[in-house]
């Protein structure tokens, strides 16, 4: 799987244009001690790699690079693991091509 | 707060929302369209192919000024294993016609243009406005919306929900369920820029001719999914998507999959030396006919991706979106012209009209396909592509083995992999789902 690890998602996100709504993240992870299977799945399935494990083994989200696909909502919202809204009007990713 | 009341509010400015807003505004209705992006198109992602017929019904002379990329003269289907592809290509001079049938487009640019037509027709388009909630009266009838830009409610006789595959409003208002992981695909896409002449040379094109490549096989690593390569004027849209539940099950990453597709020996030369200018992702409704939710109610209608109207078999979505938006508008106009209220009973006309259109007829035809593809993904996306590739190599490689022996070997490889029962079962199930 050496090919996989060579993909740098942050480099990809660098191509994109964003207007970050500082202090108003549109996705929140429910506080937990041990992550559920759904939360762990988000570490890999999120195309912008917004989800990461912290050093306590909990899943955290940083929405700055989010491309608003909604995949994490489909996986994580039913179990209550995450809360998902659209960013406020005008904020978030701004596709030039789309 | 907007004090005035509108005849209709359209939530979203994608294909279905623009179609609905345009069709209603053209008929003299007072329309408010709300879009959360900076401009119409800034949140919208598609491959993208535009189907002329469905747009002509709204804007007959769209070719005069719409930002079109290339008209398609060729369609390629590739069945891929790790080192090869077996292709079916259809190219015809007939597609070099005065009014071409399909075009590649770049959605952000196209939607901006589409939105300008909506404004010209007289609709009020408010961007940078996220609708947060539907407003309802004491009986539960939808009477308007709340947004994040203003306090209070904006009222209208009817609300058209064109909020996209991931539409939150309808789900929150319990008008429909949230899409399930096994009924939506996650697709990721990159825009690869290369000089125009390079695209034409690599894809065997001249002038504004374009080509589409749709690819399936081991690129999706046993998951239900497809890759695509679309030639635009000066860039190539390249992406791959798989069912979300499959990503969840396998732990594959979307960018890992995209990387594998780009490195495939059949793909890499097409994008060699390109400059990537955008990376995007989007969900695609894949549930087909069986995933279509309730389409109307008291004071509301749902159209496009929000209604899961996507033909996963033919990879068509934007035309279903545009058509459902237009038909919703026509139904509303009819109810209005009879001076009747926008009740569920009266708005059921929308479903009736949609049922009679290609939108529902096509989805109904393939109603069993999504499930078949998903439950047999290992066979259809891994085993068969590999078998087919080996069969083709066996067929074309000349090495002194007598032909009869070669054919026997190929047949044996199929039977060993799937057994006679499996082979006939797969063929039968596929035929039945296609019928």
Encode pLDDT of B315-370 as tens digits.
899 999 999 999 999 999 999 999 999 999 999 999 999 999 999 999 999 999 88
pLDDT (tens, 9 = 90+) of chain B, 435 residues, equals 556 799 999 999 999 999 999 999 999 999 999 999 999 999 999 999 999 999 999 999 999 999 999 999 999 999 999 999 999 999 999 999 999 999 999 999 999 999 999 999 999 999 999 999 999 999 999 999 999 987 789 999 999 999 999 999 999 999 999 999 999 999 999 999 999 999 999 999 999 999 999 999 999 999 999 999 999 999 999 999 999 999 999 999 999 999 999 999 999 999 999 999 999 999 999 999 999 999 999 999 999 999 999 998 888 999 999 999 999 999 999 999 999 999 999 999 999 999 999 999 999 999 998 888 888 888 889 999 999 999 999 999 999 999 999 999 999 999 999 999 999 989 888 888 887
Q: Per the structure block, which two tokens stand in for B420? A: 């006679």
Task: Inform me whether the C-beta atom of residue A70 falls under 8 Å from chain B C-beta atoms.
Answer: yes
Q: With pLDDT > 90 as the criterion, what percentage of chain B qualifies?
A: 92
Q: Span A1-15, mean pLDDT?
A: 75
Residue B122, burial from CB neighbour count under 10 angstroms (0-12, 13-18, 19+): middle
For residue B211, list its beta bridge partners: B74
Which tokens hold the place of B280?
A: 């995007």
Gap between the Cα atoms of B189 and B226, Å rounded: 12
Other CB atoms within 10 Å distance of the CB of residue A13: 19
> Token pair for residue B385?
């592509």
Taking contacts as CB-CB distances below 8 angstroms, the residues of chain A near B191 are 97
Residue B58 DSSP class:
T
Contact yes or no for B130 and A87 at CB 8 A: yes
Alpha carbon distance B142, B55 (integer Å)? 29
Q: Which two tokens stand for residue B158?
A: 């009817």
Which region holds residue B87: left if phi is over 0, alpha if psi is between -120 and 50, else beta? Answer: beta
Confidence tier at A3 by pLDDT (50, 70, 90): very low
Contacts B247 to A, Cβ<8 Å: 41, 44-45, 71
Instruction: In whole angstroms, give the CA distance from residue B418 to residue B180.
Output: 30
Which of A3, A15, A19 lies nearest to residue B278, judging by beta carbons? Answer: A15
Q: A22 — contact with chain B (CB < 8 Å)? A: no
Residues of A in contact with B281 (CB under 8 A): 47-48, 67, 69, 71
* Structure tokens belonging to residue B306: 């929000």
Angstrom distance (rounded) from CA A86 to CA A27: 8
A41, A94, A97 ranked by CB distance to B38: nearest: A94
Residues 6+ apart with CB under 8 A from B304: B12, B14, B15, B16, B17, B162, B164, B320, B321, B324, B325
User: From CA B316, how far away is CA B312, in angstroms rounded?
Assistant: 7
Looking at CA atoms only, how far is residue B423 from chain A in angstroms?
32
Sign, Cα dihedral of B215, B216, B221, B227: positive
Put simply, the answer to whether A90 touches B256 (Cβ < 8 Å) is: no
pLDDT of A2 over the 80 cut: no
Substitution target from A12, A18, A95 for chain B, most B beta carbons within 10 A: A95
H/E run at residue B384: helix B384-396
Q: What is the pTM of this model?
A: 0.95
């Amino acid at each position: 799987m050496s090919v996989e690890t060579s993909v740098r998602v942050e480099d990809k996100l660098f191509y994109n244009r964003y207007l970050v709504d500082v202090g108003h993240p549109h996705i929140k992870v429910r506080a937990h001690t041990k992550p559920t299977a759904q939360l762990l799945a988000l570490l890999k399935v999120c195309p912008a790699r917004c989800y990461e494990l912290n050093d306590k083994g909990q899943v955290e989200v940083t929405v700055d690079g989010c491309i608003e696909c909604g995949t994490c909502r489909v996986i994580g919202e039913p179990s209550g693991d995450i809360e998902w809204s659209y960013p406020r009007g005008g904020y978030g990713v701004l596709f030039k091509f789309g | 707060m907007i004090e005035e009341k509108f005849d209709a509010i359209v939530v979203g400015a994608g294909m279905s929302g623009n179609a609905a807003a345009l069709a209603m505004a053209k008929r003299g209705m007072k329309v408010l369209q709300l879009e959360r992006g900076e401009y119409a198109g800034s949140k919208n992602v598609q491959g993208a192919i535009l189907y002329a017929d469905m747009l002509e019904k709204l804007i007959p002379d769209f070719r005069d000024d719409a930002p079109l990329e290339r008209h398609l003269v060729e369609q390629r289907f590739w069945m891929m294993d790790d080192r090869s592809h077996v292709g079916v290509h259809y190219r015809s001079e007939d597609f070099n016609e005065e009014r071409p049938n399909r075009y590649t487009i770049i959605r952000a640019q196209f939607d901006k243009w589409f939105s300008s037509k909506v404004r010209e027709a007289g609709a009020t388009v408010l961007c940078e406005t996220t609708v947060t909630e539907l407003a309802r009266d004491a009986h539960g009838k939808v009477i308007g919306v709340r947004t994040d830009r203003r306090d209070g409610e904006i009222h209208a006789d009817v609300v058209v929900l064109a909020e996209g595959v991931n539409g939150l409003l309808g789900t929150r208002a319990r008008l429909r369920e949230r899409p399930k992981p096994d009924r939506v695909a996650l697709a990721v896409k990159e825009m690869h820029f290369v000089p125009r002449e390079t695209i034409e040379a690599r894809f065997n094109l001249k002038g504004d001719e374009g080509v589409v490549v749709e690819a399936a096989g081991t690129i999706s690593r046993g998951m239900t999914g497809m890759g695509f390569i679309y030639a635009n004027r000066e860039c190539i849209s390249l992406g791959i998507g798989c069912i979300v539940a499959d990503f969840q099950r396998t732990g594959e990453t979307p960018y890992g999959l995209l990387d594998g597709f780009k490195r495939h020996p059949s793909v890499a030369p097409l994008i060699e030396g390109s400059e990537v200018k955008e990376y995007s992702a989007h969900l695609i409704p894949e549930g087909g006919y069986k995933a279509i939710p309730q389409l109307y109610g008291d004071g509301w209608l749902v159209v496009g991706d929000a209604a899961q109207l996507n033909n996963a078999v033919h990879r068509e979505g934007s035309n279903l979106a545009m058509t459902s938006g237009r038909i919703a508008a026509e139904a509303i106009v009819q109810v209005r012209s009879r001076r009747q209220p926008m009740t569920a009973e009266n708005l059921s006309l929308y479903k009736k009209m949609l049922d009679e259109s290609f939108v529902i007829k096509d989805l109904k035809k393939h109603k069993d396909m999504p499930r078949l593809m998903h439950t047999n993904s290992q066979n259809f996306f891994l085993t068969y592509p590999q078998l087919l590739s080996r069969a083709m190599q066996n067929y074309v490689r000349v090495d002194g083995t007598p032909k009869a022996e070669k054919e026997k070997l190929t047949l044996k490889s199929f039977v060993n992999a799937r057994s006679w029962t499996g082979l006939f079962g797969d063929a039968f199930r596929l035929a039945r789902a296609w019928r």
